[in-house]
Structure 1
Amino acid sequence: MEWLPLDSVLPDSWPEWAVWGVVAVGVLGGLVVAAVIANDRRPSAALGWVLAVVLIPYLGLVAFLVIGSPKLPRARREKQQRFNERVLERTTEHRPVHLTPEHEQLPVLRSIHTMNRRLGAMPVLSGNRADLLEDYVGSLWAMTAEVEAAQHSVHAEFYILALDETTEPFFAALERAAARGVVVRVLFDHLASLRVKGYRAMVRRLDAAGVLWRRMLPVWPTSRELLRVDLRNHRKILVVDGAVAFSGSQNVVDPAYGKRSNRRKGRRWVDVMARFEGPVVTALDAVFVADWYSETGELLDDRLRTDVAPAPPADDELQAQVVPSGPGFEQENNLRLFVSLLHAAQERAVVVSPYFVPDESLLLAMRSAAERGLQVELFVSERGDQALVHHAQRSYYDALLRSGVRIWLYPAPCVLHAKTLSVDDEVAVIGSSNLDMRSFELNLEVVVLVRGAGFVRQLRGVEDLYRSRSRELTAGEWGRRSLPARTADGLARLASALV
């Protein structure tokens, strides 16, 4: 290839100093763009954006200007900060009772609790009770039953809220609760719920019932706030009378997500929810209150109580700490929690995630745990429902297998949608957060960090169920995958810092 001199491609009338000036401006502009992109970003994300701007100059630059910042508008971040300060003021008296170091299985948990408190404001709360619900329809029925028994208030917040044959009883329970004078407040993500069939019918149903509802992070052309389509509220919370709460991975939608194509394929989502009683219910309610405040400007100050009665006695002490995260916070609260727990693990760690696209710190934590001789397992879907994320996820399997991580593939056509982490025999995390960069930076998420041997035993039972249905991916099988499959995985990984 023969390169043309500069003077052959620029106008003859340009003096030499002007030519070099244009070159200098171009170089300087490129450096400035690269510096702006790299500022306060992970190196992988910065490199991904720089490559996008260089390889597709106009579209890449426009995309960066539109969705390059993983933060909510300043007004919303300030609301979250004010709310956090109020929570800290109201909960200064909480002093969790920890086991003595010689009897505590994970002594470093104290420092992890401190980190969570500093980043997300929520305290560690003792005297709780929790039960796991792994049956999809059974979980919906359990939530419906609590709404039916509500006497004062119902707070429901879900990424997807859809009216269909499976969820009809839940909506009917909301109607009956509102009719008998219960204050029913509902939040749902605007875009996620909008794309599910029956959205308008659902909205009319809520209006007719007298339910107070709002779209979370609404995208309206006339909105005073410039909210982005990529920043979503992914939380799943139900709180009834401030006494019972549910949280986990499940949306309020039928197991096939309202799609005929999923029903034809037999594709169903597999989820797990936790039912909580005790002081942790108030903390989950506080997350709802914060989101209601962000969407309406109404602060439900009376809901931030600290005098909640403990749960009925259980077989063992259960401590819980709610950890909210997302673009309303300065740091990736959930990512720091997961990485800290993996580094603290002493015997085993089991990860269940439908979308596993880790950053460098999380990948290193998992590999290091396995290389330290711990039993580390990862449960994922054999075939994902999102092609780009699925192929990006697969690109990490080789490194994990080489480090000794055991990978279990939940059989297609089902989608293993549960999101849990268990460490040793006493600590677990359950909530809405995937282990991917979208959940770490772009989605509002909530998880609950639980210390309690009884709860972990329940979670081990769910993990055993998943293991009985799954098959283990071996290094030999993975090494024999086709060249097109390797290519697709590699190309998807180039975008893994941005998906």
Structure 2
Amino acid sequence: MDAWITTALIVLAILVDLAFRVIALVAVPINRKPATATAWLLAIFLIPYLGFLLFLLIGSTKLPSGRRKKQREINRFILETTEGIERVRRDAPWPPWFETVVDLNRRLGAMPLVGGNTARLLPNYEETIAELTEAVRGAKKYVHIEFYILALDDTTAPFFDAMEDAVKRGVRVHVLLDHIATWRYPSYRRTIRKLKQIKVDWRLMLPIKPLQGKFQRPDLRNHRKLLVIDGSVAYTGSQNMIDSGYQKRGNRRRGLHWKDLMVRFEGPIVAGIDALFITDWYSETDELLVRETEPMRPADAPDMLDCQVVPSGPGFEGENNLRLFNTLIYNATERVVLTSPYFVPDESMLYAVTTAAQRGIEVELFVSEIGDQPLVYHAQRSYYEALLRAGVRIWLYRAPTVLHAKHFTIDDEVAVIGSSNMDMRSFTLNLEISVMVRGRSFVEQLRGIQQSYREASRELTLDEWLNRPMRVAALDNVARLTAAVQ
């Protein structure tokens, strides 16, 4: 009798396991890219129950339905309030393909292209924090602050003091910070206490608080970085509000520090960046902030820039940033220069980049010689051989600096700068901001920054890469299997 029960239990376990795998084969690929579905199926089949639990926890790339509904509402609001604002100067040289890219961005992210803007790059980490601090000190009406990581430490303390002074002057200060990203750092509790003490109006973005009914996939994060002052000046880019060593003793011992790039905008584009803050504030609070300034009209100077904000993330139906990046790369006629700390492209972007190189376009990629996230770092390295064989020049920014800037240039006319990496996380999991800029003066500024990177980097050759240790190559290739679910 006992043997019969044992046999029955074994047979039942086999049937359950088989049914489990069949269900996974049917359910997992639904509305997912083949690479992502394959990665999840591999995890489920190799570690069946743990893999399935992970899939249930972080397998959905969609925000809660209520939040997606809010995004659609705010998109309609942006479209209605910016009707006709697309009118910009179409003076030569306007690339013949540029208007279709503008239309693509408008359909995907609702934001218009606006002319009459100026932009200034801020490449120095500490000087950038000092300038942002002074900008807050000069605010007269309101300040909108949004950072993936907003952490109180010796470097950022003056910024918090500036917020406090602004509140005391009667300036309305609204602050958004990503919950999980900031929570990971030792100053999190001190930061929250400080925000409460200085009486700014602050919220956590995408909070994970299940006891309060606030839960979504925990690695869907708001990765944006922006600051708006009185609707007249805006800053955005790659830099978080934290010290350049990210509050880690190990980083300080190794001399490890981050190098970022922010940009200061003035002109009508500020309203677009502010609209993105308003979107995020509405998503977290149900409060729709009213724009407090009249829309700025485009200036008529010859060196003014045309700019377009391109929001992206799981609140949108498509991968707005990926579609923009690929479209621009395919339209390049002379040169593409990419900078991304985490370059883990999906298949479409890998083909766009390598195809550009193979059709004779000069393509360069700036990445760091070292990595701060081991799994992503090794996954990124797994693409180097394909890039080098296609003719892409890869520059490794020398240690101990982590090159964290995120931007690229197309020919001499168009550039994109913002918070978005060129990896699957930024394409599908993170809320990002990118700003597309048309104008030779801005591209020349970025070319100068890229030259400084080149001088601080060493070029990776195919021969060097093919002769790396076998154990390292194996680790790179295994890490690549996780790229689609990182």
- Coarse TM-score class (shorter-chain normalised): over 0.9
Aligned match of 1:360: 347
Note if 1:247 corresponds to 2:236: yes
Alpha-carbon offset, residue 312 of structure 1: 6.0
**1:106/1:345 contact within 8 Å kept:** no
Partner-residue secondary structure (3-state), 1:319: strand
Note if 1:489 corresponds to 2:480: no
The one of 259, 262, 265 equivalent to 1:270 is 259
Residues in 2 aligned to 1:215 and 1:159: alpha-carbon distance in whole angstroms: 10
* Structure 1 vs Structure 2 CA RMSD: 1.9
Alpha-carbon offset, residue 297 of structure 1: 1.0
Note if 1:97 corresponds to 2:88: yes
Note if 1:423 corresponds to 2:410: yes
Q: Which ranges of structure 1 fall in alignment gaps of 5 or more residues?
A: 1-8
Alpha-carbon offset, residue 252 of structure 1: 0.6
Aligned match of 1:53: 44
**1:321/1:449 contact within 8 Å kept:** yes
**1:127/1:310 contact within 8 Å kept:** yes
Query: Equivalent residues in 2 for 1:389-468 (5 A)?
Result: 389-468=376-455
Q: Which ranges of structure 2 fall in alignment gaps of 5 or more residues?
A: none
Alpha-carbon offset, residue 99 of structure 1: 2.7
Aligned match of 1:215: 204
Partner-residue secondary structure (3-state), 2:192: helix
Residues in 1 aligned to 2:448 and 2:37: alpha-carbon distance in whole angstroms: 41
Aligned match of 1:335: 322
Structure 1 residue identity aligned to 2:113: V
**1:391/1:493 contact within 8 Å kept:** yes
Query: Equivalent residues in 2 for 1:48-447 (5 A)?
Result: 48-97=39-88, 99=90, 103-302=92-291, 307-310=294-297, 315-447=302-434
Residues in 1 aligned to 2:310 and 2:464: alpha-carbon distance in whole angstroms: 38
**1:73/1:225 contact within 8 Å kept:** no
Aligned residues: 483
Partner-residue secondary structure (3-state), 2:244: coil
Q: Which string of whole-angstrom CA distances, capped at 9 and with x for unpartnered residues, describes residues 407-453 of structure 1?
A: 00001111000000100001000000001111111111111011011
Aligned match of 2:24: 33
Residues in 1 aligned to 2:255 and 2:301: alpha-carbon distance in whole angstroms: 39
Alpha-carbon offset, residue 24 of structure 1: 7.7
**2:207/2:214 contact within 8 Å kept:** no
Structure 1 residue identity aligned to 2:81: R
**2:61/2:217 contact within 8 Å kept:** no
**2:60/2:217 contact within 8 Å kept:** no
Name the TM-score, length of structure 2 as normaliser. 0.96
Alpha-carbon offset, residue 22 of structure 1: 8.9
Task: Tell which deviates more after alignment, 221-230 or 206-215.
Answer: 221-230
**2:228/2:270 contact within 8 Å kept:** yes
Name the TM-score, length of structure 1 as normaliser. 0.93
Partner-residue secondary structure (3-state), 1:38: coil
Partner-residue secondary structure (3-state), 1:302: coil
Structure 1 57/243 Cα, relative in aligned 2: closer, same or farther at 3 Å?
Answer: same
**1:129/1:311 contact within 8 Å kept:** no
Residues in 2 aligned to 1:127 and 1:312: alpha-carbon distance in whole angstroms: 4
Partner-residue secondary structure (3-state), 1:497: helix
Partner-residue secondary structure (3-state), 2:485: coil
Structure 2 residue identity aligned to 1:260: R
Indicate the percent of aligned positions where both proteins have the same amino acid: 53
**1:378/1:408 contact within 8 Å kept:** yes
